[in-house]
Structure 1
Amino acid sequence: MSDTSPNRIAELRKLRGMTQQALADAVGAHWITISKLERGKLPLSFEWAERIGHALGVGEFDVFRTRFAPNTVFVDGVIIEGGRAFYYKDEAGNLDHQAYMIEVETAQSPLKDWFIIENNALFPFFQTNDLVQVTYVDPTEIDLFIDRLCLVSMPIENTDKLNSVLGFVVNGRKSGFDLNIPGSAPLRDIKIEGVRPVTMALYNPPVWDQRSGRPRQKKA
């Protein structure tokens, strides 16, 4: 299998002696869909990676072909006590995706956002300065992410705005969903508008300037 392949689907499928049709049957899809996914003609979403990984007997992240190299991570926001997430904004109130620039060894994607943990907000899962990456997924497939750590978007009552909170999505006691927030009380019977699973975490990356004790910062 060439290293230029966009993912490892074909490589893993052939290792298990499966045809495209057999894999398609296992995940409930058409073989043409499998072919397009293997060749990168269709985007390999987290949902597809999970379904295909399960059929091939591997984890969802094993399906991706990821090369880790030094990259610039632009931290998009911060997570504080109670799992509450906020995006950085400039003086005009616009999203500022280049407020914090951090050099780490990881892969980049336009469908992912990075958050930095503040003040041990999610201890013992995460500590101050840890980074978590969340990935945009189809909001209609919430059931795929039950019991997973996700950034959940919920409507704020009597407004047209959304509140984002990091926690474990679980089935509600009566109906709907609850959100178990590390280190805080759970939220009951929430209405979910969107869910972004945590797809990567970087523990204690070299974020802080040792001389000043402040985050390395670069404005656009």
Structure 2
Amino acid sequence: MVKSFQDGKSIDFNAIAPRLNAPTQTEAVARETEMAQNKILYAAKLDKDMRRSAYFKTNKRTVKSNIMLKFVTKAMDLKLQCEADFTTTLEDPIELLKRVERFMKKIADAEYDFLDFWEANQKFFDMKQGTTENFMHFKERFLRQAEVLQDLYDMAWFQDFAVKTKAYAAIASTNTAAKNKFKDDIFEAVLATGFLCNCDQTRTAPLMLDLQTNYCREVDYYPKTVSKAQDMLKIHME
């Protein structure tokens, strides 16, 4: 682990994995003897390499936990958890420290508004549920980043989007109350769809297909709140 920190990257065990050497002897018996010796040596090196790799993985998890518990503030913790790759790339403590360093160097006076706007949108749309991450934890990360997005757009922007949708057009023109409610609830509806789309698709693909199929038949089962989306996912996963 020390060498990894010195090099600024984790050890690639595939690159340094032991190889079974081919025999160099030409005579049949000698060649067979050499091959047997090579196999014994290879097996010993492979066993050592596998144990070292397993220890390294365990050590990485321990180091990451220590970094998060002892050296990362609550504010930084929340910022890191909003990163789209928090459950993937940032599992590596070296990459985690690099990200912390990048955030710490980004002082307010040096922030470029247009870049911040782009990054906030990108983080929100790129945020994916980890393959082993439960829905509740992902929901918390998702909603934290949604708050950042909401600060970038005023409600009028979302309501302007609402009146352009087919669902809004389907509401009777005389039903002013229903139209106003649809516009008021549009941000939550957008989040509900985003939550479904950004959940682990290896687990939710059949559900998404059902929703799309029914919508093509003019039956809208898409959830309009994040809570309902979560309930739908729970039922689907049971």
TM-score normalised to the size of structure 2? 0.27
- Greater CA radius of gyration, 1 or 2? 2
Question: Which structure's residues are more often helix, by fraction?
Answer: 2
> By percentage of residues, which structure has more strand?
1
